[in-house]
Amino acid sequence: MKRDPEDSPAPRDPDAHGQQCLIRAWDEAADGYVSYFEPRFRPWIEDAVAALREASPDPGIVVAPGCGAGLELRLLAEALPGHDILGLDPAAGMCRNAARRIHDLPRVTVRRDDGTRTDAWPRPCAGVLSCFVLQLLPHPERALAAWMQALAPGGVLSVVFWPGDLEPEGPFATVRRILEARLAPRNRAWEGTVQDALRAAGGDVLRDETRGHAMRHESAEAFWEAMTLSGPLRPLVLSRGARFVDDVRRAFLRASPSGELVHEPRARLVLARRG
Protein backbone atom coordinates (compact mmCIF):
# COMPACT_ATOMS: atom_id res chain seq x y z
CA MET A 1 0.00 0.00 0.00
CA LYS A 2 1.25 3.48 -0.84
CA ARG A 3 1.94 5.41 2.34
CA ASP A 4 1.38 9.09 2.91
CA PRO A 5 4.79 10.60 3.85
CA GLU A 6 3.07 12.10 6.91
CA ASP A 7 2.61 8.56 8.24
CA SER A 8 6.30 7.67 7.86
CA PRO A 9 8.54 7.28 10.90
CA ALA A 10 11.05 10.08 11.45
CA PRO A 11 14.09 9.49 9.19
CA ARG A 12 17.34 8.55 10.96
CA ASP A 13 19.34 11.19 9.10
CA PRO A 14 17.04 14.18 8.39
CA ASP A 15 19.69 15.88 6.18
CA ALA A 16 20.02 12.81 3.94
CA HIS A 17 16.25 12.25 3.84
CA GLY A 18 15.67 15.93 3.00
CA GLN A 19 18.26 15.75 0.21
CA GLN A 20 16.66 12.62 -1.27
CA CYS A 21 13.23 14.31 -1.35
CA LEU A 22 14.79 17.44 -2.80
CA ILE A 23 16.52 15.63 -5.65
CA ARG A 24 13.50 13.47 -6.47
CA ALA A 25 11.31 16.57 -6.43
CA TRP A 26 13.54 18.49 -8.87
CA ASP A 27 13.77 15.40 -11.07
CA GLU A 28 9.96 15.28 -11.28
CA ALA A 29 9.70 19.05 -11.64
CA ALA A 30 12.24 19.42 -14.45
CA ASP A 31 10.08 19.50 -17.60
CA GLY A 32 7.50 21.89 -16.12
CA TYR A 33 10.26 24.02 -14.59
CA VAL A 34 11.64 24.72 -18.06
CA SER A 35 8.37 26.18 -19.31
CA TYR A 36 7.11 27.92 -16.17
CA PHE A 37 9.88 29.00 -13.82
CA GLU A 38 12.95 29.31 -16.02
CA PRO A 39 11.55 32.24 -18.05
CA ARG A 40 10.38 33.92 -14.85
CA PHE A 41 13.75 33.42 -13.08
CA ARG A 42 15.73 34.35 -16.18
CA PRO A 43 16.31 38.07 -15.35
CA TRP A 44 18.19 37.13 -12.17
CA ILE A 45 20.17 34.40 -13.94
CA GLU A 46 21.19 37.05 -16.48
CA ASP A 47 22.21 39.35 -13.60
CA ALA A 48 24.44 36.64 -12.09
CA VAL A 49 26.06 35.82 -15.44
CA ALA A 50 26.62 39.52 -16.21
CA ALA A 51 28.24 40.06 -12.79
CA LEU A 52 30.61 37.15 -13.40
CA ARG A 53 31.52 38.38 -16.89
CA GLU A 54 32.14 41.94 -15.64
CA ALA A 55 34.61 40.55 -13.08
CA SER A 56 36.65 39.09 -16.03
CA PRO A 57 37.55 35.65 -14.71
CA ASP A 58 41.00 34.31 -15.70
CA PRO A 59 41.18 31.48 -18.25
CA GLY A 60 40.05 28.11 -16.92
CA ILE A 61 36.83 26.29 -16.21
CA VAL A 62 33.61 27.85 -14.91
CA VAL A 63 31.48 25.48 -12.81
CA ALA A 64 27.73 25.92 -12.33
CA PRO A 65 26.59 23.77 -9.36
CA GLY A 66 22.81 23.25 -9.55
CA CYS A 67 22.65 24.21 -13.22
CA GLY A 68 19.08 22.91 -13.46
CA ALA A 69 17.78 22.67 -17.02
CA GLY A 70 20.80 24.51 -18.37
CA LEU A 71 19.68 28.03 -19.26
CA GLU A 72 22.60 29.46 -17.30
CA LEU A 73 25.02 27.21 -19.23
CA ARG A 74 23.96 28.73 -22.55
CA LEU A 75 24.14 32.24 -21.10
CA LEU A 76 27.61 31.52 -19.68
CA ALA A 77 28.81 30.16 -23.03
CA GLU A 78 27.67 33.38 -24.74
CA ALA A 79 29.17 35.64 -22.06
CA LEU A 80 32.48 33.78 -21.69
CA PRO A 81 33.22 32.20 -25.08
CA GLY A 82 36.88 31.50 -24.16
CA HIS A 83 36.03 29.40 -21.08
CA ASP A 84 35.08 25.76 -20.62
CA ILE A 85 31.87 25.37 -18.66
CA LEU A 86 30.73 22.48 -16.48
CA GLY A 87 27.15 22.22 -15.22
CA LEU A 88 26.38 19.96 -12.26
CA ASP A 89 22.99 18.89 -10.98
CA PRO A 90 21.94 15.84 -8.95
CA ALA A 91 18.45 15.63 -10.55
CA ALA A 92 18.38 13.35 -13.62
CA GLY A 93 15.47 15.22 -15.27
CA MET A 94 17.32 18.51 -14.97
CA CYS A 95 20.51 16.99 -16.45
CA ARG A 96 18.52 15.52 -19.37
CA ASN A 97 17.07 18.94 -20.19
CA ALA A 98 20.44 20.63 -19.76
CA ALA A 99 22.22 18.11 -22.03
CA ARG A 100 19.62 18.77 -24.76
CA ARG A 101 20.12 22.50 -24.30
CA ILE A 102 23.89 22.45 -24.75
CA HIS A 103 24.28 19.75 -27.43
CA ASP A 104 25.65 22.29 -29.94
CA LEU A 105 28.10 23.93 -27.51
CA PRO A 106 31.45 22.05 -27.63
CA ARG A 107 32.94 23.80 -24.58
CA VAL A 108 30.01 23.02 -22.29
CA THR A 109 29.41 19.74 -20.44
CA VAL A 110 26.84 18.58 -17.91
CA ARG A 111 27.39 15.99 -15.19
CA ARG A 112 24.86 14.51 -12.79
CA ASP A 113 26.36 15.25 -9.40
CA ASP A 114 25.90 17.00 -6.10
CA GLY A 115 27.11 20.56 -6.49
CA THR A 116 28.94 20.63 -3.17
CA ARG A 117 31.42 17.81 -3.96
CA THR A 118 34.07 20.28 -5.02
CA ASP A 119 36.91 17.76 -4.59
CA ALA A 120 35.66 16.16 -7.85
CA TRP A 121 35.83 19.44 -9.83
CA PRO A 122 38.38 19.94 -12.60
CA ARG A 123 41.04 22.59 -12.06
CA PRO A 124 41.96 25.39 -12.49
CA CYS A 125 38.54 26.70 -11.56
CA ALA A 126 38.21 30.28 -12.83
CA GLY A 127 34.58 30.87 -11.88
CA VAL A 128 31.59 29.48 -10.01
CA LEU A 129 28.05 30.50 -10.87
CA SER A 130 25.13 29.34 -8.78
CA CYS A 131 21.51 30.37 -9.30
CA PHE A 132 18.69 29.61 -6.85
CA VAL A 133 20.39 26.60 -5.25
CA LEU A 134 22.03 27.95 -2.10
CA GLN A 135 18.78 28.40 -0.12
CA LEU A 136 17.87 24.74 -0.80
CA LEU A 137 21.04 23.22 0.68
CA PRO A 138 21.18 21.86 4.24
CA HIS A 139 24.38 23.83 4.99
CA PRO A 140 24.57 26.88 2.69
CA GLU A 141 27.51 28.43 4.51
CA ARG A 142 29.57 25.25 4.01
CA ALA A 143 28.68 25.22 0.30
CA LEU A 144 29.80 28.84 -0.06
CA ALA A 145 33.11 28.09 1.63
CA ALA A 146 33.68 25.00 -0.53
CA TRP A 147 32.91 26.93 -3.73
CA MET A 148 35.25 29.74 -2.75
CA GLN A 149 38.04 27.29 -1.88
CA ALA A 150 37.60 25.45 -5.19
CA LEU A 151 38.54 28.63 -7.06
CA ALA A 152 42.07 29.36 -8.21
CA PRO A 153 43.54 32.61 -6.78
CA GLY A 154 41.74 35.47 -8.57
CA GLY A 155 38.76 33.22 -9.43
CA VAL A 156 35.25 34.68 -9.16
CA LEU A 157 32.08 33.41 -7.48
CA SER A 158 28.68 34.76 -8.54
CA VAL A 159 25.73 33.51 -6.51
CA VAL A 160 22.08 34.44 -6.64
CA PHE A 161 19.59 33.02 -4.13
CA TRP A 162 16.19 33.64 -2.58
CA PRO A 163 16.51 35.20 0.87
CA GLY A 164 13.86 34.57 3.54
CA ASP A 165 12.38 38.08 3.15
CA LEU A 166 12.18 38.05 -0.65
CA GLU A 167 9.02 40.17 -0.78
CA PRO A 168 6.78 41.95 1.74
CA GLU A 169 3.61 41.15 -0.26
CA GLY A 170 2.92 38.76 -3.11
CA PRO A 171 2.36 35.03 -3.61
CA PHE A 172 5.80 33.97 -2.33
CA ALA A 173 5.19 35.97 0.86
CA THR A 174 1.70 34.47 1.24
CA VAL A 175 3.04 30.91 0.94
CA ARG A 176 5.77 31.71 3.40
CA ARG A 177 3.35 33.11 6.02
CA ILE A 178 1.09 30.07 5.71
CA LEU A 179 3.97 27.61 6.03
CA GLU A 180 5.50 29.49 8.97
CA ALA A 181 2.23 28.99 10.85
CA ARG A 182 2.34 25.23 10.23
CA LEU A 183 6.01 24.15 10.22
CA ALA A 184 9.03 24.52 12.48
CA PRO A 185 10.85 27.74 11.51
CA ARG A 186 13.61 27.33 8.93
CA ASN A 187 17.04 28.31 10.10
CA ARG A 188 17.87 31.44 8.15
CA ALA A 189 20.76 32.57 10.37
CA TRP A 190 23.23 31.65 7.60
CA GLU A 191 21.96 34.57 5.51
CA GLY A 192 23.57 36.94 8.00
CA THR A 193 26.92 35.16 7.77
CA VAL A 194 27.33 34.93 3.98
CA GLN A 195 30.06 37.56 3.82
CA ASP A 196 31.90 36.13 6.85
CA ALA A 197 31.79 32.62 5.35
CA LEU A 198 33.26 33.88 2.08
CA ARG A 199 35.99 35.92 3.81
CA ALA A 200 36.94 33.03 6.08
CA ALA A 201 37.34 30.89 2.93
CA GLY A 202 39.72 33.42 1.38
CA GLY A 203 37.29 35.58 -0.62
CA ASP A 204 36.91 39.34 -1.04
CA VAL A 205 33.26 40.32 -1.33
CA LEU A 206 32.86 42.61 -4.36
CA ARG A 207 29.07 42.97 -4.36
CA ASP A 208 26.20 42.02 -2.09
CA GLU A 209 22.84 43.43 -3.15
CA THR A 210 19.22 42.51 -3.78
CA ARG A 211 17.64 42.69 -7.23
CA GLY A 212 13.90 42.84 -7.92
CA HIS A 213 12.22 41.89 -11.20
CA ALA A 214 8.53 41.71 -12.03
CA MET A 215 6.91 38.29 -12.22
CA ARG A 216 3.42 37.46 -13.49
CA HIS A 217 1.08 34.50 -12.98
CA GLU A 218 -2.26 34.01 -14.71
CA SER A 219 -4.03 33.33 -11.37
CA ALA A 220 -3.44 32.11 -7.83
CA GLU A 221 -4.58 28.65 -8.98
CA ALA A 222 -2.05 28.60 -11.84
CA PHE A 223 0.71 29.79 -9.48
CA TRP A 224 -0.12 27.05 -6.97
CA GLU A 225 -0.19 24.34 -9.60
CA ALA A 226 3.18 25.40 -11.01
CA MET A 227 4.77 25.73 -7.56
CA THR A 228 3.70 22.24 -6.47
CA LEU A 229 4.14 20.35 -9.76
CA SER A 230 7.26 21.91 -11.20
CA GLY A 231 8.61 24.49 -8.79
CA PRO A 232 9.94 25.27 -5.33
CA LEU A 233 7.05 23.58 -3.47
CA ARG A 234 7.52 20.18 -5.15
CA PRO A 235 9.88 19.01 -2.34
CA LEU A 236 7.18 19.88 0.22
CA VAL A 237 4.64 17.71 -1.61
CA LEU A 238 7.01 14.74 -1.39
CA SER A 239 8.17 15.34 2.17
CA ARG A 240 4.81 16.25 3.78
CA GLY A 241 2.24 14.48 1.64
CA ALA A 242 -1.03 15.36 -0.08
CA ARG A 243 -3.16 16.06 3.00
CA PHE A 244 -0.81 18.70 4.35
CA VAL A 245 -0.34 20.32 0.94
CA ASP A 246 -4.13 20.45 0.28
CA ASP A 247 -4.59 22.29 3.54
CA VAL A 248 -1.88 24.81 2.58
CA ARG A 249 -3.44 25.18 -0.89
CA ARG A 250 -6.84 26.08 0.57
CA ALA A 251 -5.26 28.66 2.88
CA PHE A 252 -3.24 30.10 -0.02
CA LEU A 253 -6.25 30.45 -2.31
CA ARG A 254 -8.33 32.06 0.49
CA ALA A 255 -5.55 34.62 1.09
CA SER A 256 -4.92 35.44 -2.60
CA PRO A 257 -6.65 37.99 -4.83
CA SER A 258 -8.54 36.80 -7.90
CA GLY A 259 -7.20 37.43 -11.39
CA GLU A 260 -3.61 37.88 -12.54
CA LEU A 261 -0.89 38.02 -9.87
CA VAL A 262 1.92 40.51 -10.46
CA HIS A 263 4.72 40.86 -7.93
CA GLU A 264 8.36 41.86 -7.69
CA PRO A 265 10.37 39.48 -5.52
CA ARG A 266 13.96 40.42 -4.69
CA ALA A 267 16.78 37.89 -4.92
CA ARG A 268 20.19 38.40 -3.34
CA LEU A 269 23.23 38.59 -5.61
CA VAL A 270 26.68 38.10 -4.11
CA LEU A 271 29.92 38.42 -6.07
CA ALA A 272 33.28 37.52 -4.52
CA ARG A 273 36.84 37.01 -5.69
CA ARG A 274 39.35 34.53 -4.24
CA GLY A 275 42.33 36.42 -2.86
Ligand X SMILES: C[S@@+](CC[C@H](N)C(=O)[O-])C[C@H]1O[C@@H](n2cnc3c(N)ncnc32)[C@H](O)[C@@H]1O
Question: Cα separations (Å) of 257 from 181, 200, 217, 254?
Answer: 20, 45, 12, 8
Query: Does 38 help bind ligand X (rule: CB under 6 A)?
Result: yes
The residue within the footprint of ligand X, chosen from 110, 131, 198, 248 (CB under 6 A), is 131
- What does R_g of the chain's alpha carbons equal in angstroms? 19
Nearest to ligand X of 68, 203 (CB atom): 68
Q: How far is the CB of 145 from ligand X (least distance, A)?
A: 15
**Residue choice 115, 127, 140, 265 for contact with ligand X (CB under 6 A):** 115
Contact 126, 61 (CB under 8 A): yes
By CB under 6 A, tell whether 121 contacts ligand X.
Answer: no
Least distance from ligand X to the Cβ atom of residue 252, Å: 19
CB-nearer residue toward ligand X: 97 or 256: 97
- Binding track over 145-184 against ligand X, x by CB under 6 A: ----------------------------------------
91 binds ligand X (CB under 6 A): yes
Cα separation, 80 vs 158, whole angstroms:
14
Instruction: Candidates 49, 55, 62, 67: give the one binding ligand X (CB under 6 A).
Output: 67
Q: Does 68 bind ligand X (CB under 6 A)?
A: yes
The reply on whether position 265 binds ligand X by CB under 6 A is: no
Q: Amino acid identity, residue 54?
A: E
Specify the stretch interacting with ligand X by CB under 6 A; choose among 4-12, 53-61, 90-98, 266-274: 90-98
Least Å from the CB of residue 258 to ligand X: 28
Selected from 71, 76, 144, 148, the binder of ligand X by CB under 6 A is: 71
Closer CB to ligand X, residue 199 or residue 211?
211
Nearer to ligand X, 107 or 142 (CB): 142
Nearer to ligand X, 14 or 153 (CB): 14
Separation of alpha carbons 150 and 169, rounded Å: 38
DSSP assignment of 220-254, as one string?
HHHHHHHHHHHSTTHHHHHHH-HHHHHHHHHHHHH
Closest CA to 58 of 122, 179, 153, 166: 153
59 neighbors 261 (Cβ within 8 angstroms): no
In the chain, where do the E strands start and end? Answer: 61-65, 84-89, 108-112, 125-131, 151-161, 203-212, 215-217, 261-263, 266-274
**Distance from chain centroid for Cα 21:** 15
Q: Which residues bind ligand X (CB under 6 A)?
A: 22-23, 26, 38, 41, 45, 65-68, 71-72, 89-91, 94, 114-116, 131-133, 136-137
